[in-house]
Amino acid sequence: MGTYELPRNVKGEGRILFIFTAKSLIYTVIAAGIGLLFYFIFSAIGLTMVGIIIVAAFALLGFIVGTVKMPELGKFEFSKKTGGENIDDIIKRAVLFKTKGKKIYVYKEGKNND
């Protein structure tokens, strides 16, 4: 009798705690760390609850940036060009664009036509 391999669903095995990928966990921790600075400032003046809400908001924002892809909406030109890409990649490209003097170099592969 022959042996057969059964296909397995391995899609979620790279996730930590079922919702975090490694990248989204890193972004969440970094954003929560930034929120902790605000927590310490607000807790020093007696507004601890406001500080906790800010930490949670920053952590949620970090999770969204690390996980969600840009939706492709037909109404907006921006979303037509970036639809389906990760939000963190779009942010990185925008920062590089601003720091490099607003120049984009396009390289075309193939033969050189001089």
Instruction: Give 41-66 pLDDT, tens digit per residue.
Output: 888 888 888 888 888 898 888 888 88
- Count the Cβ atoms, other than its own, within 10 Å of residue 56: 13
Q: Within a domain: residue 25? A: yes
Residue 26 lies in a domain: yes
* Length of the chain in terms of residues written: 114
- Report if residue 50 sits inside a domain: yes
Please determine, for residue 113, whether its predicted confidence score (pLDDT) is greater than 60. no
| Interatomic CA distance for residues 56 and 48, integer angstroms | 13
Q: Does a structural domain hold residue 47?
A: yes
Q: 26: pLDDT confidence band, cut at 50, 70 and 90? A: confident
Six token digits for residue 60: 């949620």
Q: 113 lies in a domain?
A: no
Pairwise pLDDT comparison (66 vs 111), residue with the higher score: 66
> Hey, what are 112's tokens?
């050189």
Q: Domain span at residue 38?
A: 14-99
Average pLDDT over residues 25-32: 86
pTM: 0.61
